[in-house]
């Protein structure tokens, strides 16, 4: 890839629904997982757990679908009525199928477009707006990875710096874990969210689940959870939220600043992200898409969700405009030296997901078969929201979206994010001729 450089600017329901929701939202890893914690009185299996792995497969499928459509039609869409009509239709489709609200933004040389559909809340009042905030979940990882690479650029660390060298004794059974391994999910560390959450769900009712996701959790709670369970072999890709919590701890220990302050000063300010925050208490700054989830026999209100459950692996709240500004600034070398950006976007693993250091890549549907290119970004999934943010390799095209009203009652879900993601991918393609 070619990195473009610029001057710096730098409802409580019954027990059956509760068990189904718990099974679907607790994360699994992308490969064989170590033994899981005891269910502490929760009957039923959690082996069918659904996490961002399923979302990533949808995102990859969307890229393949968009690529096929470009090649079949011959003329990529750009600033055209069909392109914007397809975006409007896609948003309407996911809302009709059961999502609560959706917001989308596309930025390219040929098209700057922003749109929304549905509502901010269950009653659809007020309507969702293009400027609305939403929980971006694991898109946070790109931002935290940026902070880590800034420390590498400054000479404070190298990618092979060990956790033990920064906070001795933090991972007593795994002293040789490195920054590179944490950034690329290859340390062997378990996911962490499931290990932390399950022991705190005290019964089979939905109220027990809500109480568990509304608790205050510390960074050390996350670390203690993964230290108590077996790890896989280093080098194997095992998606780990806890790994990014550890990275946040390392950054705080090195700088003496909390992660929110570091993000504001090192990422959001230089990238011009004026509506992004790092809340560690329930609630979000307005205007925002409220989080609710469908659990089969009713809606689950998630206003009490505490982002301490994710912390530096996924607590950020942002907008589509700010996400596009971030991926643009990152890929363009405005936040990290271009040589280190190249390191970030180069896949460490390619078997299941082409994941680098806090970033993964997809085939760029706008590129030709003779000169294939990539999109770079991430996705995110909370209990009520799905989100996606990607940029082209040259930094000229970005897209991002957030959808609330996640269906936790089945693996398939009532609505498909690709209904809006595919037209968003296609809309970034340049107008031919």
CA angle 361, 380, 103 (to 5 degrees): 100
**The pLDDT of residue 411:** 83
Q: How far apart are CA 124 and CA 129, in angstroms?
A: 11
DSSP secondary structure of 81-132: HHHHHHHHHHHHHHHHTT-SEEEEEEE-SS-EEEEEEEBSSTT--SBP-TT-
- Is 50 exceeded by the pLDDT of residue 44? no
State the Cα–Cα distance between residues 306 and 375, nearest whole angstrom.
Answer: 32
Instruction: Give dist(CA 292, CA 41) in Å, integer.
Output: 26
Q: How far apart are the first and last CA of the chain?
A: 24
**Which helix or strand (DSSP H or E) is residue 388 part of?**
strand 385-392
Dist. CA 244–CA 352, nearest whole Å: 20
DSSP string, 143-181: HHHHHHHHHHHTTS--TT-BHHHHSTTSSTT-TT-BHHH
| pLDDT, position 5 | 39
Q: How far apart are CA 187 and CA 179, in angstroms?
A: 9
Write the DSSP string, 42-70. --S--TT---HHHHHHHHHHHHHHHHHHH
Q: What is the pLDDT of residues 330-371, one digit of tens each?
A: 999 999 999 999 999 999 998 879 999 999 999 999 998 899
CA distances from 103 to 90, 117, 323, 414 (A): 11, 7, 12, 18
pLDDT at 47 over 60: no
Q: Specify the pLDDT at position 76.
A: 37
Distance CA 323, CA 114 (A): 13
State yes or no: cis peptide before 287, omega within 30 of 0: yes
Task: Give the pLDDT band of residue 40 (cuts 50, 70, 90).
Answer: very low
Q: What is the pLDDT of residue 75?
A: 30
Of the candidate CATH numbers 1.10.10.10, 3.30.830.10, 3.40.190.10, 3.40.710.10, the domain formed by 15-427 belongs to 3.40.710.10
Within 10 angstroms of residue 290's Cβ, the number of other Cβ atoms is 23
Is residue 16 scored above 80 in pLDDT?
A: no
Average pLDDT over residues 224-230: 97
**Chain segment 188-206, per-residue pLDDT in tens:** 999 999 999 999 999 999 9
User: Alpha helix locations (H) across 272-394?
Assistant: 320-331, 338-345
Q: What is the pLDDT of residue 132?
A: 98
Sign of CA dihedral 290, 291, 294, 298: negative
Identify which of 74-88, 135-149, 366-380 has the greatest average pLDDT: 135-149
Q: Compute the distance between CA of residue 186 and CA of residue 178 in angstroms, rounded to an integer.
A: 9
Q: Outline where 272-412 has alpha helix (H).
A: 320-331, 338-345
- pLDDT higher than 60, residue 50: no
What region, left, alpha or beta, does residue 292 occupy, with left being phi > 0 and alpha being psi -120 to 50 degrees? beta
Q: What is the average per-residue pLDDT within 144-156?
A: 99
Confidence of residue 66 (pLDDT cuts 50, 70, 90): low
pTM of the model: 0.87
Residue extents of the structural domains in the chain: 15-427
Task: For the chain, give the percent of residues with pLDDT over 90.
Answer: 77
pLDDT by residue (tens digit) across 267-316? 999 999 999 999 999 999 999 999 999 999 999 999 999 999 999 999 99
Nearest Cα to Cα of residue 21 among 381, 383, 405, 380: 383
């Amino acid at each position: 890839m070619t990195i473009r450089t610029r001057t710096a600017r730098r409802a409580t329901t019954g027990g059956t629904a509760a068990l189904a929701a718990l099974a679907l939202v607790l994360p699994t890893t992308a490969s064989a997982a170590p033994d899981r914690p005891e269910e502490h009185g929760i009957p039923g299996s959690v082996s069918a757990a659904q996490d961002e792995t399923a979302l990533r497969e949808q995102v990859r499928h969307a890229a393949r679908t968009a690529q096929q459509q470009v090649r079949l039609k011959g003329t990529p869409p750009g600033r055209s009525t069909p392109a914007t009509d397809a975006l409007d239709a896609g948003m309407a489709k996911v809302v009709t199928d059961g999502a609560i609200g959706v917001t989308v933004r596309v930025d390219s040389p040929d098209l700057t477009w922003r749109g929304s559909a549905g509502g901010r809340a269950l009653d659809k009042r007020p309507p969702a707006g293009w400027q609305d905030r939403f929980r971006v979940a694991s898109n946070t990882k790109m931002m935290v990875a940026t902070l880590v690479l800034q420390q590498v650029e400054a000479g404070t660390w190298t990618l092979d710096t060990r956790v033990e060298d920064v906070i001795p004794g933090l991972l007593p059974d795994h002293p040789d874990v490195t920054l590179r391994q944490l950034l690329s999910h290859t340390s062997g560390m378990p996911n962490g969210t499931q290990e932390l959450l399950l022991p705190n769900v005290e019964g089979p009712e939905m109220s027990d689940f809500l109480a568990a996701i509304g608790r205050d959790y510390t960074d050390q709670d996350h670390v203690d959870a993964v230290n108590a369970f077996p790890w896989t072999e280093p080098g194997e890709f095992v998606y780990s939220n806890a790994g990014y919590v550890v990275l946040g701890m390392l950054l705080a220990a090195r700088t003496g600043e909390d992660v929110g302050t570091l993000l504001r000063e090192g990422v959001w300010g230089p990238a011009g992200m004026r509506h992004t925050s790092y809340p560690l208490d329930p609630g979000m700054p307005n205007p925002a898409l409220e989080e609710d989830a469908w659990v089969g026999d009713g809606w689950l209100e998630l206003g009490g969700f505490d982002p301490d459950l994710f912390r530096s692996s996924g607590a950020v709240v942002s907008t589509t405009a700010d996400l596009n500004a971030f991926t643009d600034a990152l890929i363009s070398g405005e936040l990290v030296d271009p040589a280190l950006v190249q390191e970030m976007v180069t896949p460490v693993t390619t078997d299941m997901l082409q994941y680098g250091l806090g970033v993964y890549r997809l085939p760029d549907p706008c590129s030709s078969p003779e000169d294939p290119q990539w999109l770079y970004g991430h996705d995110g999934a909370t209990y009520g929201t799905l989100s996606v943010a990607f940029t082209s390799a040259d930094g000229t095209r970005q897209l991002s979206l957030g959808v609330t009203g996640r269906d936790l009652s089945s693996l398939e879900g009532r609505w498909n994010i690709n209904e809006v993601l595919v037209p968003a991918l296609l809309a970034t393609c340049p107008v031919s001729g």
